[in-house]
Amino acid sequence: MLPHVKKFLQLCESISSHDIQKILNLGVCVLHDLQRSAAKRLLHISEVAMEKV
């Protein structure tokens, strides 16, 4: 699951801000209940990025 979310985050670098919001929301939904530390780091990064969009 984490590789897919990483790809979503990489997509955010090259698309419009409206689409970025949708991708970040999806990433947060996917990562929300995962317990792995890598997932928690990605969740935090995604949440911070959502605040900046």
Half-sphere exposure of 10 (CA within 13 A, CB side): 6
pTM, two decimals, is 0.65
- Reported as a single tens digit per residue, the pLDDT across 1-53 is 678 777 877 777 777 777 788 878 888 888 888 888 988 888 898 888 888 87
What is the pLDDT at residue 14? Answer: 76
Collapsing DSSP states into helix, strand and coil, what is residue 15? coil
In the chain, where are the structural domains located? 16-52
